[in-house]
Amino acid sequence: MADNIWNQRQKDIWLRLLRSGDHRAFAEFIDKYKETVFLCCRKLGLRDDEVEDVASETFLAAYKGLSRYSGRAELSTWLWSIAYRQAVTYLRKNRRQWQLDAEPDQQIAGSRQQEPAAALQGKETEKIVWAAVERLPRLWAMAVILYYREEKSIADIAKIMRAKENTVKTYLFRARERLKETLAAVFGEDRDAS
Amino acid sequence: MPANRLSEDNFDRMLGRALRSSSEPVPADFTERMLERLRESEQRRILARIVLQERLALAGCIVLVAAAVTAVLVFPDTAAELLQRAVGGFKAQGGAFVDRIPQTIEAFCGQWQFYSILAIVFGFAVYSLVGLFVGDRLRVA
């Protein structure tokens, strides 16, 4: 993770600059975490035209809240929780029918059709895994992304998603089972085809 | 790996690798646009604070004048007495300053409401005048 590159001293100086409202330090902060924030917004079901607005609101909220950031949680965890809250609030306000635990309509087969049915390696595997994750209920998908991609602990995920640790474990367990099933089916099909 | 993680097998490792190896598309000029938005929002905030301070200063001046006029109209005797005392005080120049302390306390106890209003108005007036004349220097600092 990029966090490990920063040594503690540099990190402290950078944090001090961030808290003081230094724009250059904040530009670095945006560059470092913009992908994370966009990922959070997209995976929670925001449309492309909404993602940028919510991402901007997230960074504005982070800028205002940085002076209160205690440093107890990792900076990325703190930002994830803001992004998550902003996205969920936006969705609740703007889409009455929207439900966090709803399953998206996308079908893994649909995304597979765009790709040649070649050997499942490298980028191909990556796409299939992402397609399978996107088919999960949104809360499960979010827990999977935070756990496997961002390497967050269960406690951190619980804080970000404002859920109990046992609930997060349940999401992860169910998501893992579903992914195993889905991916086994897809990989199995492909092996049969080749 | 952070603590508080579940035990992992090959499937988990494959999942982690696949999810980590992708990048999320972000508009190229997002950072610049974000900074621009930030600058605009800061300018708006500063402007709003200045406008509020100016309004308070103006309101302070109006209230001060109104309070002085009201005080003279409602408590003409007290106002006259106060003015006489002030003039007398200047004349005596500290001669009998200590002797007048009990008298002042007695007068205050008798009309504490009046003096409280006067103190509030005076405080507000000082705040407004400071805001009006040296506010800019304080804001820059």
Q: Residue for token digits 């009998």?
A: B96
Given a cut of 90, whether residue A165 has pLDDT beyond it is yes
Q: Which residues 64-123 on chain A approach chain B with CB closer than 8 angstroms?
A: none
Given a cut of 70, whether residue A180 has pLDDT beyond it is yes
Calpha distance A37→A81 (Å, rounded)? 10
Given a cut of 60, whether residue A96 has pLDDT beyond it is no
Residue B91 pLDDT level (bands cut at 50, 70, 90):
low
Q: What is the pLDDT of residue B63?
A: 80
Q: Which residues 123-152 on chain A approach chain B with CB closer than 8 angstroms?
A: 125-126, 128-130, 133, 144-145, 147-149, 151-152
Question: Considering only CB atoms, which chain A residues are within 8 Å of B5?
Answer: 147, 153-154
Residue A52, chain B, CB below 8 Å: the answer is yes
Average pLDDT over residues A15-32: 88
Residue A66: phi and psi, rounded to 5, are: -60, -35
Q: What is the pLDDT of residue B21?
A: 83
CA distance, residue A112 to nearest chain B CA (Å): 16
- A-B C-beta contacts closer than 8 Å: 84
Residue A121 pLDDT level (bands cut at 50, 70, 90):
low
Cross-chain CB nearest to B20 (options A149, A156, A172):
A149
Q: What is the pLDDT of residue A109?
A: 43
pTM of the model: 0.66
User: Which of B72-111 are b and which e, b meaning 16 or more Cβ less than 10 Å from the residue's Cβ?
Assistant: eeebeebeeebeeeeeeeeeeeeeeeeeeeeeeeebeeee
Residue B84 pLDDT level (bands cut at 50, 70, 90):
confident
Rg (CA), chain B: 32
The overall average pLDDT reported for chain B is 77
Q: What is the pLDDT of residue B15?
A: 87
pLDDT > 90: percent of chain A: 41
Q: What is the pLDDT of residue A114?
A: 43
Q: Which of A63-67, B34-38, B47-51, B135-139 has the lowest mean pLDDT?
A: B135-139
Tell me which H or E stretch contains B80: helix B76-92
Q: What is the pLDDT of residue A152?
A: 92
Q: What is the pLDDT of residue A30?
A: 93
B16 contacts A55? CB cut-off 8 A: no
pLDDT in tens, A25-72: 999 999 999 999 999 998 888 888 899 999 999 999 999 888 888 778
Calpha distance B121→B89 (Å, rounded)? 22
Q: What is the pLDDT of residue B89?
A: 64
Domains, chain A, ordered by start:
1-98 (1.10.1740.10), 102-194 (1.10.10.10)
What single-letter amino acid sits at A9? R
Q: What is the pLDDT of residue A123?
A: 67
Residues of B with CB under 8 A from a CB of A: 1-6, 11-12, 14-16, 18-27, 30-31, 33-35, 37-39, 41
- Dig out the tokens for B99 from the structure: 């002797």
